Amino acid sequence: MVFFNLPLPSAIPPSTVTQTQAVPYITQQYRQRRQESERTGTFKRKYERKTDVILCKKCLRERKPPSHLQYFGNWYCEESETQTYVEWRTGLEKLGFGKKKPGNDNPPAS
């Protein structure tokens, strides 16, 4: 009978363990692009919001209820609309906005 004295897994330094793990291809590409941009000194500008509040495009005021309401991506502005909210919403429903009809989950095959 032959016995081997192998080191315990906890005795192996952590740097060798992380190097043997497979890294996804997209991660390798990201690290390579980041390293290239650091080497050349080019960096992407950090995104900054233009304003802290969202403004209505119709009345240029803050878009908050109850004067502003949304229905499937369309905004109702109480101050600029000539019709009531109920009339506006029924007009959108006639145009086809609203919940999906049952049975139309799959688009036609092309």
pLDDT at 24: 94
Q: Return the half-sphere exposure (C-beta side, CA atoms, 13 A cut-off) of residue 30.
A: 5
12 vs 44, more confident: 44
Confidence of residue 52 (pLDDT cuts 50, 70, 90): confident
Mean pLDDT of the chain: 82
Residue 76 burial (CB count, 10 A): 19
- Asked whether residue 60 is domain-assigned, the answer is yes
The range of the structural domain enclosing residue 68 comes to: 55-98
Residue 107 has pLDDT above 70, yes or no: no
Q: Are 39 and 21 in contact (CB under 8 A)?
A: no
% of the chain at pLDDT higher than 70: 75
The domain total for the chain is 1
- Enter the pTM of the model: 0.49
- Asked whether residue 18 is domain-assigned, the answer is no
